[in-house]
């Protein structure tokens, strides 16, 4: 018995998550292993129902599960709430509470979507990049933080901070992954300006030298990296970077694949793991059956690969998606004129049947 906590969240989060659960149910039949799904509240829906974005019951149930599948949180309804009450706090609280320090975000271009990217086909063909984003440190969590009154004016403060052990463990994640791929890591920082980045670069270089001499390591400033990602994305294989840079670069990387609706993610710690699409709750299209469930479905595939060690089945899900796209089926975010546009649920069913 494998316990999966399901947190659909808000907006399209609920729509895409039910399609990922459909695929997990099929996976459970294929593996002949029982999955127990427990639905939990977090984000806006939890603010409305429980009076806070991350209810204690949700965190404790997530801690007690073998894996968490999350949709997305947030929406205009909750945007004006004070900081601690914002839906996004649910995400930050889960990441911290489950100690999910490593966020793995693969950006893979399916051949069928070559023309869905806004970049030229020859630039993006065959793109297969993984962004390893540090997820529980940096400016997202650094203190002091807040808005203070000072000399008759207000001042906003955030603190970017990293300790050596925080850098070391995420560097190991990236180097270990690189061993299974092209043996190449690009570490992205801003070491010409930021002290955290200077330490980052020093620590990452040291680990490569001592523990991974067979891995090729290069360093890149984040401004240059964001340019190279659209100029020559094939330069990259594994990108290792801190929390905020990873947030920004992974959205940019998603555009190489045609749509942010294609990008899955895994957030891993020593004891827990959470899987979620990279996209947000997309309030503008929520409730209309327009959302692309593929990012969520591929997140379910990552759950099978990382938490259940079912790499082969994960690969089959990937191929099922590839098959459906190859047959010309699309959701509206990745469709070009004249293509078969499916609803969220129809896409989920197609992938299920192809599996
Ligand atoms: C992401 C999102 C989140 C982040 C937001 C919703 C807090 O953009 O997972 O990339 O910034 O980490
Ligand atoms: Mg983001």
237-245 mean pLDDT: 98
Alpha-carbon torsion 283, 319, 69, 33, what sign?
A: positive
Residues 6+ apart with CB under 8 A from 63: 97, 98, 272
Burial call 61-80: b when 16+ CB within 10 Å, e when fewer: bbeebbbbbbbbbbbeebee
Split at pLDDT 50, 70, 90, the class of 338 is confident
pLDDT value for 337: 83
Residues 189-199 have pLDDT tens digits of 999 999 999 99
- Mean residue pLDDT of the chain comes to 97
329-346 mean pLDDT: 93
**Among residues 26, 189, 190, 329, which one is catalytic?**
190
298-305 mean pLDDT: 98
Looking at the CA of residue 244, tell me the nearest atom of ligand 1. Answer: 11
Residues 127-165 have pLDDT tens digits of 999 999 999 999 999 999 999 999 999 999 999 999 999
pLDDT value for 173: 98
| Catalytic residue list contains 140 | yes
Hey, whose CA ends up nearest to atom 11 of ligand 1?
247
Burial call 186-209: b when 16+ CB within 10 Å, e when fewer: bbbbbbeebebbebbbebbeebbe
pLDDT value for 316: 98
Whole-number Å distance between alpha carbons of 258 and 274: 24
**Could you give the C-alpha distances from 229 to 114, 243, 256, 343, in angstroms and in order?**
16, 18, 8, 31
Distance of CA 116 to the CA centre of its chain: 20
Split at pLDDT 50, 70, 90, the class of 184 is very high
Identify the structural domains of the chain with CATH numbers, from first to last: 1-98+272-355 (3.40.718.10), 102-262 (3.40.718.10)
Residues 92-102 have pLDDT tens digits of 999 999 999 99
Burial of 221 (0-12, 13-18, 19+ CB in 10 A): middle
**Among residues 79, 223, 284, 288, which one is catalytic?**
223
Burial of 330 (0-12, 13-18, 19+ CB in 10 A): buried
- Lookup result for tokens 């000399």: 151
**Backbone angles phi and psi of 142, in degrees to 5:** -60, 145
Question: Best mutation site among 71, 88, 104, 134 for ligand 1, i.e. most ligand atoms within 8 A of its Cβ?
Answer: 88
Measured from the CB, is residue 91 less than 6 Å from ligand 1? yes
Answer yes or no: are the C-beta atoms of 323 and 286 closer than 8 Å: no
Burial of 39 (0-12, 13-18, 19+ CB in 10 A): middle
Residues 212-240 have pLDDT tens digits of 999 999 999 999 999 999 999 999 999 99
Question: Best mutation site among 54, 70, 280 for ligand 1, i.e. most ligand atoms within 8 A of its Cβ?
Answer: 280
Position 117 pLDDT exceeds 90: no
Separate counts of helices (H) and strands (E) for the chain: 12, 14
The pTM of the full predicted model, rounded to 2 decimals, is 0.96
Residues 67-78 have pLDDT tens digits of 999 999 999 999
Q: What angle do CA 50, 54, 55 make, to 5 degrees?
A: 45
| Catalytic residue list contains 223 | yes
Hey, whose CA ends up nearest to atom 5 of ligand 1?
88
Split at pLDDT 50, 70, 90, the class of 37 is very high
For ligand 2, an ion, list residues with CB under 5 A. Answer: 247
Whole-number Å distance between alpha carbons of 140 and 208: 26
Beta-bridged to residue 218, according to DSSP, are 186
**Backbone angles phi and psi of 218, in degrees to 5:** -125, 155
**Could you give the C-alpha distances from 27 to 20, 312, 348, in angstroms and in order?**
10, 11, 13
DSSP state of 332: G
pLDDT value for 94: 98
Residues composing the chain: 355
pLDDT value for 116: 86
* Nearest ligand to residue 252 Cα: 2
pLDDT value for 65: 98
Q: What percentage of the chain has pLDDT greater than the value 90?
A: 97
Position 341 pLDDT exceeds 90: yes
* Nearest ligand to residue 248 Cα: 2
pLDDT value for 200: 99
Distance in Å, CA 279 to ligand 1 centroid? 8
Position 28 pLDDT exceeds 90: yes
* Closest to 190 in 3D by CA, of 232, 140, 242, 234: 242
| Catalytic residue list contains 128 | no
Residues 42-71 have pLDDT tens digits of 999 999 999 999 999 999 999 999 999 999
Can you state the angle between helices 88-97 and 56-64, rounded to 10 degrees?
40
Distance of CA 304 to the CA centre of its chain: 15
Measured from the CB, is residue 100 less than 6 Å from ligand 1? no
Split at pLDDT 50, 70, 90, the class of 326 is very high
pLDDT value for 295: 97
| Catalytic residue list contains 251 | yes
pLDDT value for 124: 95
């Amino acid at each position: 018995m494998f316990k999966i906590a399901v947190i659909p969240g808000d907006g399209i989060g609920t729509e895409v998550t039910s399609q990922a659960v459909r695929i997990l149910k099929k996976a459970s039949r294929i593996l002949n292993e029982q999955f127990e799904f427990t639905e939990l509240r977090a984000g806006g829906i939890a603010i409305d129902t429980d009076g806070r974005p991350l209810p204690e019951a949700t965190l404790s149930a997530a801690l007690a599960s073998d894996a968490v599948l999350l949709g997305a949180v947030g929406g205009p309804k909750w945007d004006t709430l004070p900081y601690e009450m914002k839906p996004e706090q649910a995400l930050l609280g889960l990441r911290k509470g489950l100690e999910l320090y490593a966020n793995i975000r693969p950006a893979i271009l399916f051949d069928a979507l070559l023309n869905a990217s806004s970049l030229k086909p020859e630039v993006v063909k065959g793109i297969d990049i993984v962004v390893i984003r540090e997820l529980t440190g940096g400016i997202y969590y650094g203190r002091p933080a807040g808005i203070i009154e000072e000399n008759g004016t207000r001042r906003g403060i955030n603190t970017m901070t990293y300790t050596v052990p925080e850098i070391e463990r995420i560097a190991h994640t990236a180097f270990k992954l690189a061993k299974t791929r092209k043996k190449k890591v690009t570490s992205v920082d801003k070491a010409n300006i930021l002290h955290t980045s200077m330490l980052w670069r020093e620590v990452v270089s040291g680990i490569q030298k001592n523990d991974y001499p067979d891995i090729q390591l290069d360093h890149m400033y984040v401004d240059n990296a964001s340019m190279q990602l659209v100029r020559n994305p094939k330069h990259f294989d594994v990108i290792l970077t801190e929390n905020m840079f990873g947030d920004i670069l992974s959205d940019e990387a998603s555009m190489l694949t045609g749509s942010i609706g294609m990008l899955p993610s895994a957030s891993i710690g020593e004891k827990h793991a959470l899987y979620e699409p990279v996209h947000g709750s997309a309030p503008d299209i929520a409730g209309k059956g327009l959302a692309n469930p593929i990012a969520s479905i591929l997140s379910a595939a990552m759950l099978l690969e990382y938490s259940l060690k079912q790499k082969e089945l994960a690969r089959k899900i990937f191929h099922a998606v590839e098959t459906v796209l190859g047959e010309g089926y699309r959701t509206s975010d990745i469709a070009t004129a004249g293509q078969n546009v499916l609803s969220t649920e129809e896409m989920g069913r197609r992938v299920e049947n192809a599996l």
